A and B are shown apart, each in its own frame.
Chain A
């Protein structure tokens, strides 16, 4: 009788210890997994709200062309002037927020919605846009193009 109680007591003790060790292990995992994932640098590297590295090589951008890229959650336009300089502006037209495009035939940044024209300094030169496009700073770092907000 006492032997039986002793044995069931022992097995219960073993069970409780098993629960405890499993639980502690599980808890450690549940804490360490998020922490580990947290510390791994995210794909974007750093906040794209003020700086973005384009998925483009500088030599792949021909003179007198422009292209739209994502700056944070907003569209922006990268232009290489006929003179070979890289410039970037917000691509949201200052009139009604349509996305602007580069017109190779006239060398303007152009909004198709209401025929707004901007020159290659982003200045509104024709049509309804009331303000110039916000300009971003463009830097070439090795074979990367880095666009950042001018503060």
Chain B
């Protein structure tokens, strides 16, 4: 018994000398999480991270069978679903987890927005976070096409067409992204490269930066709580907060398993580029608010096409969102910033209402 302990500690020392484990342990011990009435929002980042890891794991598994070409893509997934044991499970978890991840990422962003956690010195944390959300949507857009089924094909056509309406660079960007004038097998190969190589690489870098900054600055305490007098309780990150995180992750895993088993993602019909587009093509739900906005815009606003105005509007809005920490001067000084709270609330209401309309309004109108 004692000799075993000694051996273990000797191995530990050996590793510590080379890896600096003690320093990491010290960091973990020191890290704590403030406790207050808004603490619950602290879990969303970790949840998104967990779902991202699920995506990485299931994505790698899918690579074992997926073939990125117009001829084989649909058939390889059919094969994966029907012949490969638990293939249906891996694919369904990948698809469901992607949706949940984007959902929790949105929640995470809105909670950070409303709790003003972006204020100095966390501006770069915010910017990297917004960029990560953009990347997640990019993952969704490129991944949606990969099964090469009818719905995905036409949704991608509509999506890339919208992108091409961006003045000056849109046409060229669309051409490069699609690998030609139209969505074809060439597009599929490009989307595949972007989905499994380009985006993961950028995401890994940004995610590393994001996590490093969270670690460096610790959890942000909302200004409202900060202004209150009195001592603030806190909780050690290891193990108390981590255990709670684990409970959340396991719950997410159970939900994923149930969704995958009861609502497996169907494959649908194989894409036929020459077939007429089916009625009521809808983008993925997280693009719906933008899609629906473009629908409501008139054909022309002043002398510019309505669609172009809409797209430029979203581009400007995205840019403003990105540099939000520099716009909100009051929060930066630690004062309450009603205006930006209301902007955040308006943003959430806008996204919710248009998404709702997107799913309820008749597609033929």
Contacts and interface: CB of A to CB of B under 8 A. Distances in A.
Contact between A and B in the complex (any CB pair below 8 Å): yes
B89 interface: yes
B86 A37 contact: yes
A37 B85 contact: yes
Contacts of B61: 35, 38-39
A44 interface: yes
A47 B78 CA distance: 8
A142 interface: no
A50 to B, nearest CB: 6
A67 B166 CA distance: 58
Contact of A38 (B72, B79, B87, B250): B87
B105 interface: no
A102 B71 CA distance: 30
A38 B86 contact: yes
By Cβ-Cβ distance, the 6 closest A-B pairs, closest first, are A47-B79, A49-B75, A34-B86, A37-B85, A42-B83, A38-B86
Counting chain B residues whose Cβ lies within 8 A of the other chain, the interface size class is 10 to 19
Interface in B32-88: 61, 64, 71-72, 75-76, 78-79, 83-87
Interface string A126-140: 000000000000000
B90 interface: yes
Given A37-B85, A38-B89, 14 more contacts: A27-B250, A34-B89, A37-B86, A38-B86, A38-B90, A39-B61, A44-B83, A47-B75, A48-B79, A49-B78, A49-B79, A50-B71, A50-B72, A50-B75
Say whether chain A's binding surface is mostly helix, strand, loop, or mixed: loop
B117 to A, nearest CB: 32
30 contacts: A27-B250, A34-B85, A34-B89, A35-B61, A35-B86, A37-B85, A37-B86, A38-B64, A38-B84, A38-B85, A38-B86, A38-B87, A38-B89, A38-B90, A39-B61, A39-B64, A40-B85, A42-B83, A42-B84, A42-B85, A43-B83, A44-B79, A46-B79, A47-B72, A47-B83, A48-B83, A49-B78, A49-B79, A50-B71, A50-B75
A118 to B, nearest CB: 26
A2 interface: no
Say whether chain B's binding surface is mostly helix, strand, loop, or mixed: helix
A151 interface: yes
B76 A47 contact: yes
Interface residues of A, number: 16
A53 B91 CA distance: 26
A47 B72 CA distance: 9
A68 B212 CA distance: 63
Contacts of B86: 34-35, 37-38
Interface string A12-49: 00000000000000010000001101111011101111
Contacts of B85: 34, 37-38, 40, 42
Contacts of A50: 71-72, 75
Contacts of B87: 38
A120 B90 CA distance: 44
Interface in A41-91: 42-44, 46-50
Contacts of A35: 61, 86
Nearest to A40: B85
A21 B28 CA distance: 22
Nearest to B83: A42
A100 B90 CA distance: 39
A9 to B, nearest CB: 18
A115 B71 CA distance: 34
A39 to B, nearest CB: 7
Nearest to A47: B79
A50 B84 CA distance: 16
Nearest to B64: A39
Nearest to A46: B79
A22 to B, nearest CB: 14
B74 to A, nearest CB: 8
Best-surrounded residue of A34, A44, A46, A47 (most CB of chain B within 10 A): A47
